[in-house]
Amino acid sequence: MFSKLFATAVFITLAAAIPNTTPPVTTPTSDQCCNSVVPSSSAAASAVAALLGLDLTGLNVPVGLSCSPITVGGNNCGSTSVVCDAPDKEWGGLIAINCIPITA
C-alpha cells in the first residue's frame, strides 16, 4: 500500500513540475500505428497530454494515443494506421498530434 501511495505522490509531483506547453500543429509526416485516435478535447487525450506537460486547450485536431512508428517493412498495424505529427523523442509514443487516417 505504501509503495502505491509513494509512486502516486512521485508521479503527481513530476506531472506538476512539468510546465504546460501547447504543442505546435504542423503538417503530419510520420506514419503511426495508434491504439486509438480521439478528439483533442477528449478526457483521454487531456489526461495523457497533462502527463507530458502538454496543453491541448483550443486545439481541434485528432490525437493518437499509444502510437508506434510504422516501419518501411510494411504496415502490420492491428490498430489504427494514421499519419501524424509524432516526435517520439519528445512524447515517447504516448501521444501524437494531428492524426489523419492512412488510406490505401
Q: Where are the domains of the chain?
A: 20-101
Decide: 69 and 89 in contact? Cβ < 8 Å. no
Asked if residue 69 has pLDDT above 50, the reply is yes
Asked if residue 58 has pLDDT above 70, the reply is yes
Asked if residue 21 has pLDDT above 90, the reply is no
* pLDDT score at 73: 64
User: What is the C-alpha separation between 59 and 97, in angstroms, rounded?
Assistant: 10
Asked if residue 15 has pLDDT above 60, the reply is no
Residue scoring higher pLDDT (91 or 17):
91
What is the pLDDT averaged over residues 33-38? Answer: 91
Choose from 6-10, 21-25, 56-60, 100-104 the range with maximum mean pLDDT.
56-60
Asked if residue 12 has pLDDT above 80, the reply is no
User: What is the C-alpha separation between 58 and 22, in angstroms, rounded?
Assistant: 9
Alpha helices, DSSP H, located in the chain: 2-17, 43-52, 88-91
The residue with cell 502505491 is 4
Give the closest residue to 57 by CA, choosing from 25, 84, 89, 30.
25
* pLDDT score at 25: 72
Decide: 87 and 57 in contact? Cβ < 8 Å. no
